[in-house]
Amino acid sequence: MADKKKLGAYICKGCGISERLDIDELAKIAKSDGKVAIAKQHDFLCNSDGVKMIQADIDAGEVSHIVIAACSRRAKTDAFRFDNVAIARTNLREGVIWVRPDTEDAKETTQEMAEDYIRMGCAEVKFMTLPSASGEQGRVDHVLVVGGGFTGLTAALEIAKAGYLATIVEKTGALGGTAAQLYKRTPVRSPFADPQDNGIADLIQQIESNDKITVHLNATVSKTEGAPGRFNADISPDIGTKTFGSIIQASGFTPYDATQLPEFSYGKTPDVVDQLGLEALAKEANGGAIKRPSDGKEVKNVVFVQCAGQRSEKEGHLSYCSGHCCMTSVKQAMYFKDANPTVDAMVIYTELRMPGAAGEDFYRNGQDKGVTFTKGIVSEVVSEAGKVSVKFKDLILNEEVDLESDLVVLATGMVANSGIDSEILLTEEDEKTEEKAEEKTEEKTIIPIVPAESILNLEYRQGPDLPQLVNGFTDSHFICFPYETRRTGIYAAGPVRRPMDMAQATEDATGAALKAIQALENAGIGRAAHPRSGDLSFPIFRKEGCTQCKRCTVECPFGAINEDEKGYPQFNEARCRRCGTCMGACPVRVISFENYSVETVGQAIKSVDMPDEFDEKPRLLVLACENDAYPALDMAGMTRREYSAFVRIIPVRCLGSVNTIWISDALNSGYDGIILMGCQKGDDYQCHFVKGSEMAHYRMSKIGDTLQQLQLETERVQTYEIAITDMERVPKIINDMAATIEKIGMNPFKF
Amino acid sequence: MSEQYRNNFLREVEANVEEGEWVKRCMQCGVCSGSCPLGPHWEHPPQELFMMIRAGKRDEVLKSSSMWMCTSCYNCIARCPRELPITHIMHGLAHYAERLGLAPKNQQTNKFAQRFWNNLSKTGRVNELKLTLSFYFMNGFMAGVKMSLNMQKVGLGMLLSKRLNPFEILGGHGCKDSKGLQAILKKAREIEDAKIAKFQG
């Protein structure tokens, strides 16, 4: 490491930058205000000649910290990738010339904008250090697969095929899980006409003959600690502690308890079964005629009731669709039709959901085999004197029907086996014990399954299992990185993640296997997982300054931070996703990253040239999330949407990393308005760090007090949820803020 | 004979109605009903008829006037996402109902269709003059005279342009072997009757 920081600025003149801006002046400012040793200009910085010029200075030891003043940090990333130097990008193209009109009037303010961005880039890079891995890395080429069902087996096999070791921990005494209970599965190949073998026997055979896979039956994970690359898992009973690089949780689902549907007579008569019950009957019949459980007579007609206790807002029902049940019912109706085409098999549905081309073909093939479909709502299944009748309303013919049937099959849903909900644990902590006892009994009647035992038993500050989003399914960023959970290096796959069928579980298991391998490889070299994949920086904290307030350990969306006995945070670098939510949370500002800290952004904020109150040149600060808001701003530039020249934009890793000190510093140094742009929050969040945007909104809702103390209007600070497509909205937000400032007047704190 | 929501009637339709084996393929999207230009005048639109067949409503379907409303515009066939030949099924149902004597009496389309068939099957060629006249007079003598007077101009025009041969009234032309044709039709009817008998219990 160089003993002294040597700063250099490289200013590009291409893409029309030199026609619109006074480059000599910018270079002068980089030297005078930015205090850089070298300030060079180039006609075309990103071409090989320009890059060579920078590389030559780096090689000669002339510079250790560089500012590249050219296009957006999102453009030309390959050209401007230099090893062993800290880099700041100053956005003169998308951020300045492309959002300003090319007129004589605008020239002055546009030039000022560019000059400020140069100052900000220089200030930022001055406070950066080059990130390097912490040295706490570990790497074990061994993946723990929790759950030996179809998903777990598929994942383990994929891991072994890729050359890594896998260990399966299965709670029961046999592999195969629910899939092994199926007589046949829905077809996966064209023409999707007939149910096919469930393939479990073959899968188990492949697992058992693979020397890279270890199987522990009748076993559970009683404790998990550590981080990606070095998880230590205690496997009970008697197997002891093993070390793993990453973990796949394929704990599957529990079938919804149909006895909670008294209106459908489940449990009252053996002639009402759920789908797994029918699989058992079909297995027994083994291709022959399926028999009625009550009297052993051949079933002559069968009714399938879709959405039994699902997609329903009634108490005790599941509100969601389990995705596979329509396909499963068609498959099961085929069991009857294939054995005897004269059996009447009717499916009563409200909306039939047959996902994908395979689903549609399979539906058609079911119809061709003579399975009939009736759009209707079943209100009741009555069992009297050995007879079962289904009462339903035909929605096409609009009439009530009472239909006797030999056998009724209920399509009930999937309930995820996701262990203990840490969010419930957190709220319980705050509640009084008395209240808790009361509410718990009450809740039990509403939520059908309260997860009783933990699956991973994580020794994490934030609870023993993967966090859940809604309905007990594990949380993941559904759009951008569905396999990542909120615990780095632990991947959920199969119906524990969302309801799915075996075809989808195959994909899920394969995806999770590859992510698990990537995670352990990353952990070995200290690199972050999604979305900052490859990032080597990690949070460092100054213990002397820490007040043990625990905000960071509580707010970390990924449970990366534990606490020691004294309540000091313990950062686990490999578990960290580098969002900086801890940095934003810290009231005493002792948490920072080498290349991203309270200082790098704070100094950039303070470095702008602040015109005095009577100049009629306000200054607006935008802190924009680099994931969605910053690209939206870039796109506004690419499409030449103009916005105010008074704005200064700083990208942040996540709005969650915004420390309120930046806001008060900005106001104190004379900014007239501040806009925070983050991602969508809430249950349908798009925040790339799950909770970052939510935390930022929460923190900013409290900023009013600070503003009042400073006797400033609350309109000066605004927080927005921005989507990556909002390229029309972002300029409007900025211009609206400029108009607001014009109305309420300038910030009096200008020096 | 046909129980509710059992498949007896569906099987009967599949066996005896032209293109009847397509009925089970309907997915109840309703595009046919929405596309039918006469839709509002149908007692039961096609989609509903298909559901009624599956629900075993034999009498209601066969006695319905609905399928007689079809004008063969083929909108439904063109639009059906499942490619059901809906127009043909409608005609098939109508024909089957007539065959069983269940079709509504005094149904204009039915009356015309019957006259068309009688006219055609006699000689193997359509006698347009006789067909037209039988159509004009099918609702009584006075109505026939009135209709004929209305169409006077068209008739004369056709006569002058030699599109209408007045001597057709004397018997008209036929195919080469109308006796042979009659035999074919008789045989076909026997086959169909045998098939129908199977479902008459």
Confidence of residue A130 (pLDDT cuts 50, 70, 90): confident
What number of other Cβ atoms are within 10 A of residue A701's Cβ? 9
A137 vs A295, residue with greater confidence: A295
CB-CB neighbors (< 8 A) of A344 in chain B = 5-7
Confidence of residue A425 (pLDDT cuts 50, 70, 90): low
Touching B: A residues 398-457, CB under 8 Å: 401, 403
- The pLDDT of residue A452: 64
Q: Per-residue pLDDT for A428 more than 70?
A: no
Contact yes or no for A374 and B48 at CB 8 A: no
Residue of A nearest to B43 (CA): A397
Contact yes or no for A368 and B48 at CB 8 A: no
Classify each residue of B128-147 as buried b or exposed e, where b means 16 or more C-beta atoms within 10 Å of its C-beta. Answer: ebbbbbbbbbeeeeeebeeb
Contact yes or no for A397 and B54 at CB 8 A: no
- The pLDDT of residue A637: 96
- The pLDDT of residue A709: 82
Chain A closest CA to B47's CA: distance in Å? 9
- The pLDDT of residue B201: 58
What number of other Cβ atoms are within 10 A of residue B49's Cβ? 27
Contact yes or no for B54 and A401 at CB 8 A: no
Distance (Å, whole) CA B41 – CA B28: 20
Q: Per-residue pLDDT for A495 more than 90?
A: yes
CB-CB neighbors (< 8 A) of B64 in chain A = none
Contact yes or no for A368 and B25 at CB 8 A: yes
- The pLDDT of residue A301: 95
Contact yes or no for B5 and A403 at CB 8 A: yes
Residue of B nearest to A341 (CA): B7
Confidence of residue A437 (pLDDT cuts 50, 70, 90): very low
Confidence of residue A482 (pLDDT cuts 50, 70, 90): confident
CB-CB neighbors (< 8 A) of B55 in chain A = 374, 394, 397, 401
- The pLDDT of residue A708: 85
- The pLDDT of residue A615: 86
- The pLDDT of residue B173: 87
Q: Per-residue pLDDT for A4 more than 50?
A: yes
Confidence of residue A321 (pLDDT cuts 50, 70, 90): very high
Residue-range domains of chain A with CATH: 1-130 (3.40.50.960), 142-252+417-525 (3.50.50.60), 258-413 (3.50.50.60)
Which residue in the set B25, B28, B82 is minimally distant from A375, CB to CB?
A: B28
Per-residue confidence in pLDDT tens, chain B, 201 aa = 468 999 999 999 999 999 999 999 999 999 999 999 998 899 999 999 999 999 999 999 999 999 999 999 999 999 999 999 999 999 999 999 999 999 998 898 999 999 999 999 999 999 989 999 999 998 899 999 999 999 999 999 999 999 888 888 888 888 999 999 999 999 999 999 999 998 875
Task: Please compute the mean of the pLDDT values over residues A419-425 and round it to a whole number.
Answer: 76
B54 touches chain A (CB under 8 A): yes
A482 touches chain B (CB under 8 A): no
- The pLDDT of residue A430: 52
CB-CB neighbors (< 8 A) of B10 in chain A = 372
Mean pLDDT for all residues in chain A: 92
Confidence of residue A436 (pLDDT cuts 50, 70, 90): very low
- The pLDDT of residue A444: 41
Q: Per-residue pLDDT for A431 more than 60?
A: no
Q: If DSSP states are collapsed to H, E and C, what string results for chain B?
A: CCCCCCCHHHHHHHHHCCCHHHHHHCCCCCHHHHHCCCHHHCCCCHHHHHHHHHCCCHHHHHCCCHHHHCCCCCHHHHHCCCCCCHHHHHHHHHHHHHHCCCCCCCCHHHHHHHHHHHHHHHHCCCCHHHHHHHHHCCCCHHHHHHHHHHCHHHHHHHHHCCCCCHHHHHCCCCCCCHHHHHHHHHHHHHHHHHHHHHHCC
Touching A: B residues 31-50, CB under 8 Å: 47-48
Please report where in the chains the tokens 């599109």 appear, as a residue: B163
Q: Per-residue pLDDT for A449 more than 90?
A: no
Highest mean pLDDT: which of A146-155, A357-366, A427-436? A146-155
Confidence of residue A308 (pLDDT cuts 50, 70, 90): very high
Contact yes or no for A397 and B10 at CB 8 A: no
Nearest to A721 by CA among A647, A582, A653, A624: A624
pLDDT digits (tens, 9 = 90+) for A38-72: 999 999 999 999 999 999 999 999 999 999 999 99
Residue A175's φ and ψ, nearest 5 degrees, are -85, 160
Confidence of residue A447 (pLDDT cuts 50, 70, 90): very low
Q: Per-residue pLDDT for A561 more than 80?
A: yes
Q: Per-residue pLDDT for A387 more than 50?
A: yes
Residue-range domains of chain B with CATH: 8-104 (1.10.1060.10), 108-191 (no CATH)
B141 Cα distance to chain centroid = 25
Task: Please compute the mean of the pLDDT values over residues A152-168 and round it to a whole number.
Answer: 98
Contact yes or no for A367 and B7 at CB 8 A: no
Residue A477's φ and ψ, nearest 5 degrees, are -75, 100
Query: Does the N-terminal peptide bond of residue B37 adopt cis geometry, omega within 30 degrees of 0?
Result: no
